[in-house]
């Protein structure tokens, strides 16, 4: 059986033949090329929700400039490549290379006399392992004071022609606002599957600020994220919500020995002294000269760690939970929630990248076929519909979105099992069967066989509602898939 | 906004404008009794009650999780409002003075009912509750919680109102908060140092500034965000660019609470609360109290005028007995005009009746036009996407959209009725001015008389606006706007429409079947919107008609009472004038001395009243 990606490619070949010699040929070529590129993940959210900071944390380098005021004004792509290069796409005229320099804190791009309004996109090519897995797109925030900056985020995410440049989105929220949900909706098309949480993960960002830096802040953040993820409205638009302290995550990935040395001086003090020192940011900068840190160094520490981060680090160092810089970095990555986010990204986006990429490519193709009918385009459109309606991964997504929108009713336990089985929490066999990640092959086979039987009974039970029995048939295919993969391995 | 709970005794009981005003009001009350004018006395009693319970409302507003409750707690130095990382304030909390700590539940109703509860119980009513924990609401909806605290800051009648988060300018909460702000004496807008002011925050501030004369912005959490100074400067710039004069006060509630706990002066200074406390006590409470005092003193001046007029007429008759009969004749003619002033045929009364009639029609038309616009927009939204997906968003959108239109409709009502009451005041003054002018002819101190007529004009103008506000504050739309909207929307709320979403599989007719289901859903959603708007229009139409009728009654009673007072003054004057004719020369001289003494006393009282509030 051919893979979804191969079927999609084949359809594109036929479409290219239909549109040869028309202005759409190039567009089709570009869309087809996306199938072989890394997954495109956009980072979106309200103004100052910490998008650039999180991007830096995910790349592991300080690339995107961050600042207290509004910062990102241009949609910026970060792609993997062999050389360091920045391409500037003006609103008018052809793309041109831009000069750039890398300061200690971030990349600085010279717009060559253009104002940010005149630049539609920046493409930054940067050799990086993280970018090989996914191309990241930094967007200006919505709710921005300047109407135009906001409009750009909309352009990227909700372009009128249904096709969105991004395959998936990380949506950052600080506390859920009405405006947020509205924004997220724009991502969802109406064809392959209804507005659904297929390609979006919510991030409760700046999580360290929720409890204003108290020691139990992250626990509060987890509770809030859990509540949000269970919320009916949120469930319909994102798969899950993960709390992340972005600043701490970024610092964890770029921690220096110097910084650890400075933190050690603070950790050397008694707990009560540190508490007094961290009572307010002004006190931290100005009191206790005996620490031997200049006020510039202190301000820098604050900017890099925040009050919560300094508190955590001094505790970790004092209790010698972490001794070296790399140990401290590891601890901080865990505390900040970055590790959790990465594993969620892996199971929900990266492992499903072929489906997500095919999906956005087919969507783009579909919109061209519909708006520009030509001889032969009808046949290709039928083929697209055939893939969309029959490919098992798409069926899984359709069931998932039906569950999330309340279209499938049943006992909550049954629905939860169904949601996992069709890959709602991630596509690995263990996740689908709700087993431990290191479950043995035999255990997986046994569980899958049991699930197969259960769902066959449900599908055939005349008392099962129509929707659930339809979904059950999809679940059966999923179980068969797991069993087949097990066989193949053996 | 809420009814006064109990008499307060504050620092102002012994000094300050309120004390001065109380003193002149007491004197004037004694005078009214001595001169046998209980009608004027009752007018002063109202002023006395308001002096004892000024009820100066400071509304604390801002987005979710900006530290509003923490700020209120730090301000009053007590955990009055519950603070939580996740759960937000759900109903307004009124923190006011009480001789001992206590709490009341304010229940929805007209007028709102109070139910004493324990302080610890208050928390669970204030914070938002998860659907599962919500107790079955057998009784009336909770409109708010009142916290009583024995704090000097609150003793002068200051009421600090902690409000639920706005959730964006477009939300129903924002509409309710704006309505509350239009009734408030001052607004403290809370934002935090985590980011600069957003567009919706700035929009809200602009609207608030239009509705309330005193608005200040507090920048919280300065202990936590290193770049709070940058944020403060950015915010100040944004506000300046908007052209609104609002100052930004950086504060740290954490430091302030800790400073109070440890009695740490340095920490208190660092918390920035000194400026905030000064704003609250001087600008808000101080100015509020001064205003109340000035209003009371103006009542005293108005009363003094009437009494002076009465004595002045008698004096004219005493000075020149030959012309006494003419005085009486003129007074009789004036009295006739005053009686006309009371009748339904008086011009001011007709202006009022006609005005209310027109206004009623206009307001209804305005509402209908607005609702029609809402329905058009809702239809567009429903057409644009599948209601099965968007219904959960259309519902709150519709509610907030409608509540904003209700507020706008109500603002039209408020402004137009204020204009109307100005016009009525103008007409009344024109008619009564002639009456007062008649006095001036006989008044030996003509200069005083002229200035008096002028003060009357400004006084009447001032009371005209106040009258409308009083009528509105007492009305359903005004006082309960905070709870009215949610409960109104809740009662007639959108019936949950069942939108069937079939799980479709297989390639055959996938697209067609989807389209058919979609059309059915859209029709269903449009119907629901129409039913809802019908209901809103019905309820609101009745409410605004009632409000206007109440305003009409209130204005009519107010001016009828003024006319009544004028009539009584004239009656007394006529009686004394005719008595003056019958007196012997010796008696006349003696009486003249008495009257001069009374006039001097009244002049002194009016002078003292004029000095209240600087």
Among candidates A307, A406, A467 on the partner chain, residue whose Cβ is nearest the Cβ of B224 = A307
On whether both A264 and A233 belong to a single domain, the answer is no
**Contact residues on chain A for B382, CB-CB shorter than 8 A:** none
Q: ipTM value of the model?
A: 0.72
Among candidates B86, B199, B255 on the partner chain, residue whose Cβ is nearest the Cβ of A280 = B255
Cα nearest neighbour of B235 on chain A: A69
pLDDT tens digit string along B439-454?
433 333 322 333 333 3
User: Under a CB-based contact definition with an 8 Å cutoff, are residues B577 and B324 in contact?
Assistant: yes
In a domain? residue A17: no
Contact of A162 with chain B, judged by CB distance below 8 Å, is answered with no
Q: What is the pLDDT of residue B459?
A: 39
In a domain? residue A127: yes
> CA A335, A338, A340, A341: dihedral to nearest 10 degrees?
150
The answer to whether B503 contacts A399, with C-beta atoms less than 8 Å apart, is yes
* Spatial distance between the Cα atoms of B171 and B402, rounded to a whole number of angstroms: 10
User: Under a CB-based contact definition with an 8 Å cutoff, are residues B147 and B114 in contact?
Assistant: no
> A382 vs chain B: nearest CA distance in angstroms?
9
* Spatial distance between the Cα atoms of B285 and B267, rounded to a whole number of angstroms: 25
In a domain? residue A413: yes
Among candidates A227, A279, A405 on the partner chain, residue whose Cβ is nearest the Cβ of B501 = A405
On whether both A64 and A136 belong to a single domain, the answer is yes
In a domain? residue A149: yes
In a domain? residue A119: yes
> CA B41, B45, B48, B52: dihedral to nearest 10 degrees?
160
Q: What is the pLDDT of residue B168?
A: 58
**Contact residues on chain B for A386, CB-CB shorter than 8 A:** 507
Question: Which candidate, A131, A116, A33, places its Cα nearest to that of A80?
Answer: A131
Percent residues over pLDDT 70 in chain A: 87
Q: Give the count of Cβ contacts less than 8 A between chain A and B.
A: 138
- Interface probe, candidates A47, A52, A68, A149, chain B, greatest B C-beta count within 10 A: A68
On whether both A237 and A263 belong to a single domain, the answer is no
pLDDT tens digit string along A175-225?
655 444 444 444 443 333 333 467 788 899 888 888 777 888 888 889 888
Percent residues over pLDDT 70 in chain B: 78
In a domain? residue A472: yes
Roughly how many angstroms between the first and final C-alpha of chain B, as a whole number?
A: 28
User: Under a CB-based contact definition with an 8 Å cutoff, are residues A377 and A25 in contact?
Assistant: no
CA A259 → CA A263, A288, A302, A315, distances in Å? 6, 18, 11, 15
> B217 vs chain A: nearest CA distance in angstroms?
18
Question: In the beta sheet, which residues pair with residue A119?
Answer: A90
Q: How many domains does chain A have?
A: 3
* Spatial distance between the Cα atoms of B445 and B448, rounded to a whole number of angstroms: 6
* Spatial distance between the Cα atoms of A120 and A74, rounded to a whole number of angstroms: 7
In a domain? residue A300: yes
Higher-confidence position of A101 and A418: A418
* Spatial distance between the Cα atoms of B552 and B357, rounded to a whole number of angstroms: 10
Q: What is the pLDDT of residue A175?
A: 63
Contact of A257 with chain B, judged by CB distance below 8 Å, is answered with no
On whether both A124 and A141 belong to a single domain, the answer is yes
On whether both A280 and A427 belong to a single domain, the answer is no
> A21 vs chain B: nearest CA distance in angstroms?
30
Please identify every stretch of chain B with a pLDDT value under 70, giving residue numbers as ranges.
Answer: 1-15, 108-112, 128-141, 167-173, 175, 179, 183, 388-390, 392-393, 396, 433-514, 613-614
> B524 vs chain A: nearest CA distance in angstroms?
17
**Contact residues on chain B for A398, CB-CB shorter than 8 A:** 503-505
On whether both A193 and A278 belong to a single domain, the answer is no
**Contact residues on chain B for A470, CB-CB shorter than 8 A:** 503, 505
Buried b (16+ CB within 10 A) or exposed e, B320-334: eeeebeebbebbeeb
CATH number at residue A47: 3.40.50.300
In a domain? residue A484: yes
> A190 vs chain B: nearest CA distance in angstroms?
8
Phi and psi, residue B561, nearest 5°: -65, -40
Of A268-277, A426-435, B458-467, the poorest mean pLDDT is in B458-467
**Contact residues on chain A for B504, CB-CB shorter than 8 A:** 398
Residue B349 tokens, joined:
């009364």
On whether both A198 and A241 belong to a single domain, the answer is yes
Cα nearest neighbour of A206 on chain B: B194
- Interface probe, candidates B83, B226, B228, B521, chain A, greatest A C-beta count within 10 A: B226
Among candidates A48, A281, A307 on the partner chain, residue whose Cβ is nearest the Cβ of B195 = A48
Cα nearest neighbour of A401 on chain B: B503
Mean pLDDT of chain A: 82
- Interface probe, candidates B389, B404, B522, chain A, greatest A C-beta count within 10 A: B389
Question: What residues have CB less than 8 Å from A442, skipping those under 6 apart?
Answer: none
Contact of A105 with chain B, judged by CB distance below 8 Å, is answered with no
Q: What is the pLDDT of residue B577?
A: 79
User: Under a CB-based contact definition with an 8 Å cutoff, are residues B299 and B230 in contact?
Assistant: no
Contact of A386 with chain B, judged by CB distance below 8 Å, is answered with yes
User: Under a CB-based contact definition with an 8 Å cutoff, are residues B92 and B161 in contact?
Assistant: yes
> B485 vs chain A: nearest CA distance in angstroms?
18
The answer to whether B198 contacts A145, with C-beta atoms less than 8 Å apart, is yes
On whether both A312 and A226 belong to a single domain, the answer is no
User: Under a CB-based contact definition with an 8 Å cutoff, are residues B480 and B543 in contact?
Assistant: no
- Interface probe, candidates B71, B83, B205, B224, chain A, greatest A C-beta count within 10 A: B224
The answer to whether B198 contacts A47, with C-beta atoms less than 8 Å apart, is yes
Phi and psi, residue A158, nearest 5°: -130, 45
Among candidates B64, B224, B502 on the partner chain, residue whose Cβ is nearest the Cβ of A467 = B502
The answer to whether A402 contacts B503, with C-beta atoms less than 8 Å apart, is yes
pLDDT tens digit string along B498-535?
444 445 554 444 566 667 777 887 888 888 888 888 87
On whether both A191 and A207 belong to a single domain, the answer is yes
The answer to whether A206 contacts B238, with C-beta atoms less than 8 Å apart, is no
Q: What is the pLDDT of residue A405?
A: 66
The answer to whether A302 contacts B226, with C-beta atoms less than 8 Å apart, is yes
Q: Hey, how many other C-beta atoms are within 10 angstroms of the C-beta on B269?
A: 12
**Stretch 409-428 of chain A: residues touching chain B, C-beta under 8 Å:** none
Q: What is the pLDDT of residue A331?
A: 93
Q: What is the pLDDT of residue B187?
A: 92
Residue A409 clears pLDDT 60, i.e. is over it: yes
**Contact residues on chain A for B256, CB-CB shorter than 8 A:** none
Contact of A395 with chain B, judged by CB distance below 8 Å, is answered with yes
> B535 vs chain A: nearest CA distance in angstroms?
25
**Contact residues on chain A for B507, CB-CB shorter than 8 A:** 385-386, 389-390
On whether both A269 and A135 belong to a single domain, the answer is no
Contact of A347 with chain B, judged by CB distance below 8 Å, is answered with no
Q: What is the pLDDT of residue B456?
A: 37
CA B207 → CA A50, B182, B200, B213, B308, distances in Å? 29, 10, 11, 11, 45
Helix (H/G/I), strand (E/B), else coil: A102: strand
Cα atoms in the Cβ-side hemisphere of radius 13 Å centred on B583: 22
Is the pTM higher than 0.90? The answer reads no
Q: What is the pLDDT of residue B277?
A: 92
Sequence length of chain A is 490
Among candidates A181, A190, A399 on the partner chain, residue whose Cβ is nearest the Cβ of B393 = A181
Cα nearest neighbour of B166 on chain A: A177
Run of H or E residues at B321:
none
Question: What residues have CB less than 8 Å from A267, skipping those under 6 apart?
Answer: A274, A313, A314, A315, A317, A318
> A68 vs chain B: nearest CA distance in angstroms?
7
> A48 vs chain B: nearest CA distance in angstroms?
6
The answer to whether A473 contacts B505, with C-beta atoms less than 8 Å apart, is yes
Confidence of residue A150 (pLDDT cuts 50, 70, 90): very low
On whether both A223 and A261 belong to a single domain, the answer is no
Full domain range(s) for residue A467? 408-489
**Contact residues on chain B for A195, CB-CB shorter than 8 A:** 386, 389
Cα nearest neighbour of A303 on chain B: B226
On whether both A419 and A456 belong to a single domain, the answer is yes
* Spatial distance between the Cα atoms of A216 and A235, rounded to a whole number of angstroms: 26
Read off the pLDDT of each residue in A356-363 and give the average, rounded to a whole number: 86
Q: What is the pLDDT of residue B376?
A: 92
**Contact residues on chain A for B252, CB-CB shorter than 8 A:** 280
Among candidates B86, B231, B501 on the partner chain, residue whose Cβ is nearest the Cβ of A68 = B231
pLDDT tens digit string along A229-254?
877 767 777 788 899 999 999 999 99
Q: What is the pLDDT of residue A452?
A: 94
Higher-confidence position of A139 and B474: A139
The answer to whether B224 contacts A145, with C-beta atoms less than 8 Å apart, is no
Cα nearest neighbour of B63 on chain A: A177
Confidence of residue A470 (pLDDT cuts 50, 70, 90): confident
């Amino acid at each position: 059986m051919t893979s979804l990606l191969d079927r999609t490619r084949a359809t594109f070949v036929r479409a290219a033949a239909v549109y040869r010699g028309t202005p759409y040929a190039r567009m089709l070529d570009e869309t087809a090329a996306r199938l072989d590129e890394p997954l495109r993940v956009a980072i979106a959210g309200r103004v100052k929700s910490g998008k650039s900071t999180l991007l830096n944390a995910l790349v592991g380098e300080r690339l995107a400039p961050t600042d207290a005021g509004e910062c990102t004004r241009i949609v910026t792509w970060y792609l993997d490549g062999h050389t360091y290069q920045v391409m500037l796409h003006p609103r008018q005229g052809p793309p041109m290379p831009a000069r750039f320099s890398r300061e200690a804190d971030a990349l600085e791009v010279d717009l060559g006399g253009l104002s940010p309004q005149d630049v539609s996109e920046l493409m930054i090519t940067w050799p990086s392992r993280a970018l090989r897995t996914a191309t990241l797109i930094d967007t200006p925030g919505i709710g921005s004071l300047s109407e135009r900056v906001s409009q750009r985020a909309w352009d990227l995410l909700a372009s009128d022609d249904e096709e969105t440049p991004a395959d998936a989105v990380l949506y950052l929220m600080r506390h859920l606002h009405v405006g947020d949900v509205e924004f997220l909706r724009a991502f969802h098309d109406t064809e392959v599957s209804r507005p659904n949480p297929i390609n979006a993960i919510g991030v409760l960002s700046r999580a360290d600020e929720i409890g204003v830096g108290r020691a139990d802040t992250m626990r509060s953040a987890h509770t809030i994220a859990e509540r949000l993820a269970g919320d009916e409205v949120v469930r319909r638009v994102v798969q899950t919500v993960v709390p992340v302290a972005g600043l701490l995550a970024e610092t964890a990935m770029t921690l220096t020995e110097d910084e650890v040395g400075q933190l050690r001086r603070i950790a050397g003090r008694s707990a009560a002294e540190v508490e007094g020192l961290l009572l307010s940011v002004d006190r931290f900068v100005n009191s206790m000269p005996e620490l031997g840190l200049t006020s510039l160094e202190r301000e820098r520490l604050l900017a890099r760690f925040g009050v919560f981060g300094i508190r955590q680090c001094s505790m970790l160092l004092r209790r010698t939970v972490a001794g070296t810089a790399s140990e401290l970095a590891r601890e901080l990555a865990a505390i900040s929630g970055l590790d959790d986010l990465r594993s969620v990204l892996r199971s929900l986006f990266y492992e499903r990248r072929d489906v997500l990429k095919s999906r956005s490519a087919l969507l783009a193709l579909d919109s061209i076929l519909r708006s520009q009918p030509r001889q032969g385009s009808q046949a290709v459109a039928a083929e697209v519909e055939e893939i969309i309606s029959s490919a098992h991964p798409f069926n899984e997504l359709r069931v998932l979105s039906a569950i999330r929108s309340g279209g499938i009713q049943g006992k909550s336990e049954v629905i939860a099992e169904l949601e996992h089985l069709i890959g709602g929490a991630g596509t690995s066999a263990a996740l689908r069967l709700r087993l431990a990640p290191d479950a043995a092959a035999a255990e997986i086979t046994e569980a899958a066989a049991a699930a197969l039987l259960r769902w066959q009974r449900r599908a055939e039970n005349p008392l099962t509602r129509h929707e659930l029995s339809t979904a059950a048939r999809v679940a059966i295919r999923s179980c068969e898939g797991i069993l087949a993969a097990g066989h193949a391995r053996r | 906004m809420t009814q006064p709970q109990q008499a307060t005794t504050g620092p102002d009981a012994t000094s300050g404008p309120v004390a001065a005003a109380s003193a002149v009001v007491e004197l004037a009350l004694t005078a009214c009794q001595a001169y046998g004018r209980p009608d004027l006395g009752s007018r002063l009693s109202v002023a006395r009650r308001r002096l004892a319970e000024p009820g100066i409302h400071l509304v604390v507003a801002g987005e979710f999780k900006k530290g509003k409750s923490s700020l209120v707690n730090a301000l009053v130095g007590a955990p009055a409002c519950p603070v939580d990382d996740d759960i937000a304030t759900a109903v307004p909390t009124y923190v006011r003075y009480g001789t001992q700590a206590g709490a009341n539940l304010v229940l929805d109703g007209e007028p709102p009912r109070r139910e004493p509860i324990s302080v610890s119980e208050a928390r669970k009513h204030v914070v938002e509750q998860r659907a599962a924990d919500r107790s079955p609401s057998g009784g009336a909806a909770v409109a708010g919680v009142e916290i009583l605290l024995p704090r000097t800051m609150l003793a002068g009648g200051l009421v600090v109102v902690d409000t639920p988060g706005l959730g964006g300018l477009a939300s129903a909460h924002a509409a309710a908060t704006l309505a509350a702000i239009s009734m408030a004496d001052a607004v403290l807008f809370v934002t935090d140092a985590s980011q600069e002011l957003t567009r919706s925050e700035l929009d809200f501030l602009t609207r608030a500034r239009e509705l309330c004369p005193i608005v200040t912005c507090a920048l919280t959490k300065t202990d936590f965000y290193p770049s709070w100074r940058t944020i403060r400067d950015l915010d100040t710039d944004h506000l300046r660019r908007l052209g609104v004069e609002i100052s930004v006060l950086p504060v740290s509630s954490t430091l302030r609470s800790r400073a109070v706990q440890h009695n740490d002066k340095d920490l208190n200074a660092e918390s920035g609360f000194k400026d905030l406390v000064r704003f609250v006590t001087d600008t808000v409470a101080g100015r509020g109290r001064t205003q109340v005092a000035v209003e009371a003193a103006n009542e005293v001046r108005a009363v003094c005028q009437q009494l002076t007029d009465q004595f002045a007429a008698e004096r004219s008759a005493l000075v020149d007995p030959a012309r006494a009969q003419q005085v009486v004749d003129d007074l009789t003619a004036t009295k006739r005009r005053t009686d006309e002033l009371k009748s339904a045929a008086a011009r001011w009364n007709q202006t009022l009746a006609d005005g209310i009639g027109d206004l009623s029609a206009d307001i209804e038309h305005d509402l209908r036009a607005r609702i029609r616009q809402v329905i058009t927009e809702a239809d567009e939204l429903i057409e644009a996407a599948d209601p099965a997906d968007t219904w959960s968003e259309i519902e709150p959108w519709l509610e907030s959209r409608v509540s904003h239109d209700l507020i706008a409709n109500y603002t039209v009502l408020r402004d137009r009725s204020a204009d109307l009451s100005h016009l009525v005041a103008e007409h009344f003054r024109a008619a009564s001015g002639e009456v007062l002018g008649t006095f001036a002819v006989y008044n030996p101190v003509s200069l005083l008389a002229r200035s008096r007529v002028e003060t009357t004009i400004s006084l009447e103008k001032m009371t005209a606006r106040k009258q409308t506000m009083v009528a509105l504050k007492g009305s359903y739309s005004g006082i309960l706007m905070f709870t009215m909207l949610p409960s109104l929307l809740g009662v007639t709320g959108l019936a949950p429409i069942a939108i069937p979403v079939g799980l479709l599989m297989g390639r055959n007719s996938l697209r067609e079947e989807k389209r058919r289901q979609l059309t059915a859903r859209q029709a269903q959603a449009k119907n629901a919107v129409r039913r809802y708007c019908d209901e809103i229009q019905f309820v609101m139409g009745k409410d605004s008609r009632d409000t206007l009728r109440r305003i009409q009654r209130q204005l009519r009673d107010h001016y009828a009472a003024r006319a009544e007072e004028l009539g009584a003054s004239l009656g007394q004057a006529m009686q004394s004038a005719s008595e003056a004719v019958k007196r012997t020369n010796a008696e006349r001289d003696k009486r003249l001395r008495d009257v001069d003494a009374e006039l001097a006393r009244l002049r002194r009282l009016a002078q003292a009243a004029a000095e209240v509030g600087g």
